[in-house]
Structure 1
Amino acid sequence: MPGKTEKLLSILKLQPVVPVLIVEDVRSAVPLARALVAGGLRAIEITMRTPAALEAIRAVADEVEGAYAGAGTILNPAHFEAAEKAGSTFIVSPGVTRPLIEAARQSEVPLLPGAATASEVMTLRDEGYEVLKFFPAEQAGGAAYLKSLASPLAGTLFCPTGGISLKIAPDYLSAPNVVCVGGSWVAPKEMVASGDWAGITRLAAEAFALRK
């Protein structure tokens, strides 16, 4: 696990914000990823919420120089295996199950598992996980809640995701137990649909400037 933890941290520490994307049309995946990378956001989470997701991950992994394509919304071992085969460099889940932990244990691709309570964090710590996704961040208690976990659960780092915007991201990034945040605001649906890649690069650069 230590090796995979370091691998995951080396990706998450590239930037303060990891874009969380829902890709509807695979043709937009490569130009979208290139626009994000141009703005400094190299680690990109493509969620498994659309039929285009796996092909989008594969395209970004194969064609976008400097990008680290990750897969999000991984719910089971079949998702994990498919995302790994598509070229994911990291895998993100909203929560965790025993079968998912077993699938992750057998893979070299690091898992960022989701947790929302102290008990869930403790359970994952027992499995060797030191870096977790805090989800859904705003709905589960926000930055204040996450900061309150820093002392009793010292040594655990989080990437909070869910309801985070440019305005409130600094609240999370100021927490001692936060390594980065996940956000969808850097790639608004209307900008992707219109192909406003320059606009997305500007939003990415704005997010990158939040560096801790």
Structure 2
Amino acid sequence: MGARLLPRLEASVTKRRVWVACAAGLFLAACTGTSDEDDGAAPSPPAPSSTPDSTRTSPQPGSPSVPPDRTPQPPPSGTPAPDRTLEVVAPDDGSTVSSPVVVEVEVSGFSLVDLGGDTREDEGHLHAFVDEVPPDDQVWLRESPSIVTSADATIELGELAAGEHTVTVVATYSYPVPFEPRVEDGVTFVVQ
């Protein structure tokens, strides 16, 4: 994997720091109680930010940690999930490939979008687990050098060592929480 994946790893670390900051902000907001003067009226909406979303990189002191329209929430319960599918179409299972390795997938029932967008049942992104079993008991998929995140049906894994490798691709919402029911597929191949 080496130097070729270093920028991707740095981006993953940055994304994780942003998500940790967001989670901390949400936790603090959830822990805040109401005052005795609460009259039951709905809270006023937050003031609009003068900073466009595309340039916002981290929360500023005194500002909300997550813009209200970007708060990571699971889709409403009771909403029927679309028929989502994911299939690894290349490389073929059991095939021999050379590095750098690229995995091709086909998805249906949802569109691929970048990490961190609005929560929608019909949008998500992919996590490719290289020689690692995706966690069943972990809601937020952790970042690691063996997990490649992609918003594209072509997933570049980079240089892999010679030998047998297994890749499992898991579809998640626009933030890293797996779809329910789970949508995944895998392939085993040999790198020469």
Q: TM-score range by the shorter chain?
A: under 0.3
User: Scaled by the length of structure 2, what TM-score is found?
Assistant: 0.22
**In proportion to residue count, which structure has more strand?**
2
User: Scaled by the length of structure 1, what TM-score is found?
Assistant: 0.21
